[in-house]
Structure 1
Amino acid sequence: MLTAITGINWGDEGKGRMVDLLSQEYDIVVRYQGGNNAGHTVKNERGKFVLNLLPSGILRPEVVCVMGNGMVIDPQHLDGEITKLREQGIQISPANLKISDRATITMPYHVAQDGLEEARLSKTGAQFGSTKRGIAYVYGDKYMKKTLRMGDLLHLDEAVKKRLVTMVDSKNLVMEGSYGAAPIDVEEMWAWLQKYAAIFKDYVCDAGAYLDKADREGKKILFEAQLGALRDVDFGIYPYTTSSNVIGAYAPIGAGIPGHKLDNSIGIMKAYSSCVGDGPFTAELAMTEEEKHYLREAGHEYGAATGRPRRVGPIDLVASRYGVFCQGCDEVALTLLDVLDYMEKVPVVKAYKLSDGSITDRFPMGEALDTAQPVVEYLPGWHCDITAARKWEDLPKAAQDYILYLEQAVGCKITYISVGAEREAYIHRT
């Protein structure tokens, strides 16, 4: 059984919370793309956990977690993340964490270049809102064949060092020539690699072979995405996207088993809209600054990876319908419904008005998206606390009607409804 859990909007939909919940039914959880620009926050009986690189299944001791070949991994950050989780009582060892030998290493100079370029762009207001974790630059180097992979840590010989020298020479042309920055020191980078090779050598393996064997043995595998469909490098709001493919169809590829096929795709959809970073975000135009402030505070909308306040707005049905299409969703999990408890009436963006005056319910690209205006409809609010609800019948009728409206609008069954941050605070509609 191969299941993908993916975001259908801009990210921050609550995927980590849903993976933590659903992982009790699975043997293996796999992150298949992205790096430590992810921010998954999970609350359970053991406390609050913020995960950037590790799959959310790491919080369940009986689950094996895999970091797939589609990921870019900063070993320094990963070491720190593991250390913090261990301090919180989470057991992590090569028995329950496996790192693909084909995953790409994020080097310190990728992080440095990210910060330098974002600073350069900010002078003209052209910045992308990067997390400054080096993600775009390591993916760029990956496709130029100028990176090392986690498997290289298993044999740091002269051949690997020769490749490192070539990569550093090339990077210094940019760091010194374009940014006027200090040159990268090869010996410093070599020592850095040796340090993390000693730490992670027992974790690195042929993850694809491991997953292929597990699937053939009938193990249940859950794929975890970072961000959402609208941040996919091919199908998202390019160029304001991440640098990898977040869609569910990429999950077997980024995990290391490209010949395998998904059995189920669960899309995670927030009960309202939020977004970190720059780029078109039509939903925020549907609220006043005061309304957005109340919604941001009610939802604690600050980035788990960056701490930055998120842009917010009503649920965007145009974008959500497109996200469901991109992710090939078989079912949808609706998260953070309880955040809307305070609203007397609940706004939804049901269509876009384009610059030529036409109305569309299809998600546009380019200039049409940049200038689109929201067409807003208001639904009755329930204006009461729903956090204790555990069955469909426990929800007030206005909340039920809101869910049924969303379900019809996006064209996919809503089977899970999150009504609180805790692990057990949800409703499962069978």
Structure 2
Amino acid sequence: MMITAITGANWGDEGKGKITDSLAVDADFVVRFQGGANAGHTVINPHGKFALHLLPSGVFYPNVTNVIAPGVALDLDVFWDELDELQQRNAPEPKLKVSDRAQVVLPYHRLLDGYEEERLAGASFGSTKRGIAPFYADKALKVGIRVSDLTDPDRMRNQLERALPAKDILMTGLYGKDRMSIDAIIDSLTTLSTRLTSYICDTTVLLHDAIKADKNILLEGQLGALRDPEHGIHPFTTSSSTLAGYACVGAGIPPYAIEKVIVVTKAYSSCVGAGPFVTELPGADGDELRERGGDAGEYGATTGRPRRVGWFDAVATKYGVRLQGATDVVLSLVDVLGYLDEIPICTAYDVNGETVTDFPVGRALDVAKPVYETMPGWKSDVSEIREYDELPSAARDYVEKVES
């Protein structure tokens, strides 16, 4: 048995989906334990290229039971769109289980998210407008709707009657929009949930039984350490913990069960959304890195927005790796840098004239400037190399500098 968490060291977009997909071939379970449809994991396989926002990245393997755990923000529209896309593109039908304790993203969560971003305008947080912050706010306020409630219209109505008065005040008073109809929301949820019954189960029992049976379990995280609401670049964070430690909470497994934490980081930096990004590369150099990066350029899998890109940030990455409790680190997309004569690595920050190697917070992070060391490039395509020793010496030197 091996229980492995796969998480990100940085701002998200590190390549966690690709790593999960590659490891899923030997897994029995792949579990999404937090977040919602606000980030996408890109998977490329013989069936094509897929951007998965809710479905775990093990859905292409018939041997894998894929689990949407209690910590996930379940957007039923996205859930069905993704399942239908798999069918339309002749991918194998996945083995999939949805927690009866997961809560559901409601129509007004998405509306409120979008309206608030519009209201904030230039001071917005860069939301994907998928309703995530309002969803988790309602979860904390105890006015959310669980999957187990979807077959109980009276229970749904009771929860909505608790929630909607405050939402209507926001809708009409702050945003100048119409009130919402409880009946319309219940009808929509009932329609979307009709097909869900066969997928619903107590996933906590399922996973505890899997642990007892010595099954291999992958816990697939979303976004990265710098988007964590406690430890990230507040207020430009997401609304659920992005750390490996939260996998125990979101999936409902014992804290001692996780034996390995694989943390993914890129050989350069990328970021979708707002917030401090010390090594951001502007202008033509940034444009070229963006176009060469990722699987087909650095563009958000969820929003399609151009990702902000920059050089490798060792200060931020060390912080993220430490927070995640990494036992292993994956360095992705080294091949992207093969066009460069020289490659800067940010090894420290200059904060008001002081050299800093620990990731700062607040105003100190806002004013931080990168301190670079420059490594020689290898000026060759290494994308087909599969053995570390076959890499050019300059590429190995770069990797080892990052490791140090």
TM-score normalised by L of structure 2: 0.97
5+ residue gaps, structure 1: 409-430
Structure 2 partner of 1:147: 144
Instruction: Give the corresponding residue for 2:19.
Output: 18
2:338 maps to what in 1? 341
Shift of 1:33: 0.3
In the TM superposition, residue 165 of structure 1 has moved relative to its aligned partner by 2.3
Q: Which residue of 1 aligns with 2:301?
A: 304
Which residue number in structure 2 is paired with residue 326 of structure 1?
A: 323
Q: Distance in 2 between matches of 1:281 and 1:353?
A: 14
User: Structure 2 matches for 1:178-217, cutoff 5 A?
Assistant: 178-217=174-213
Matches within 5 A, 1:208-247: 208-247=204-243
How many angstroms does 1:325 deviate by?
0.3
| Alignment check: 8 A CA contact 1:151 1:205 kept | no
Q: Distance between the aligned counterparts of 2:42 and 2:388, measured in 1?
A: 25
**TM-superposition CA deviations, 1:86-121 (whole Å, max 9, x none):** 11122335xx10011111100011000011000000
Are the counterparts in 2 of residues 268 and 334 from structure 1 also a CA contact under 8 Å? Answer: yes
In the comparison of the two structures, how many residue pairs are matched? Answer: 400
In 2: Cα distance, 1:100 partner to 1:260 partner: 22
In 1, are the aligned partners of 2:315 and 2:357 still within 8 Å (CA)?
A: yes
> How many Å separate the matches in 1 of 2:311 and 2:8?
17
What corresponds to 2:82 in structure 1? 81
Matched, 1:295 2:289: yes
Aligned to 1:407: 403
Separation of aligned partners in 2, 1:6 and 1:231: 12
Partner of 2:105: 106
Q: What do the CA deviations read for 1:266-322 (whole angstroms, capped 9, x no partner)?
A: 0001000001111110011xx441111110010101001000001110000000000
Partner residue, 1:66: 67
Percent identity between matched residues is 47
CA distance in 1, matches of 2:154, 2:384: 61
CA distance in 1, matches of 2:153, 2:134: 25
1:298 alignment partner AA? R
Partner of 1:48 in structure 2?
49
1:415 maps to none
Contact 1:67 1:98 in 2 (8 A): yes
Distance 1:221 1:281 in 2: 33
Kindly state the Cα deviation for residue 372 of structure 1 after the two structures are TM-superposed. 0.2
Alignment match, 1:416 = none
1:271 aligns with 2:267: yes
**Equivalence for 2:37:** 36
Q: Are the counterparts in 2 of residues 103 and 149 from structure 1 also a CA contact under 8 Å?
A: yes
Structure 1 stretches of 4+ moved >6 Å: none
Equivalent AA in structure 2 for residue 314 of structure 1: W
The DSSP-based 3-state class of the residue aligned with 1:117 is helix
Instruction: Classify the secondary structure of the residue corresponding to 1:282.
Output: coil
Q: CA deviation at 1:259?
A: 4.9
Indicate conservation of the 8 Å contact 1:33/1:72, yes or no: yes
Q: Distance in 1 between matches of 2:374 and 2:221?
A: 32
Q: CA deviation at 1:81?
A: 1.2
Which residue does 1:418 correspond to in 2?
none
**For residues 93 and 184 of structure 2, what CA distance do their matches in structure 1 show?**
28
User: Could you say what secondary structure the match of 1:56 adopts?
Assistant: coil
1:30-63 C-alpha deviation (Å, 9 max, x unpaired)? 0100000111111122211110011111121211
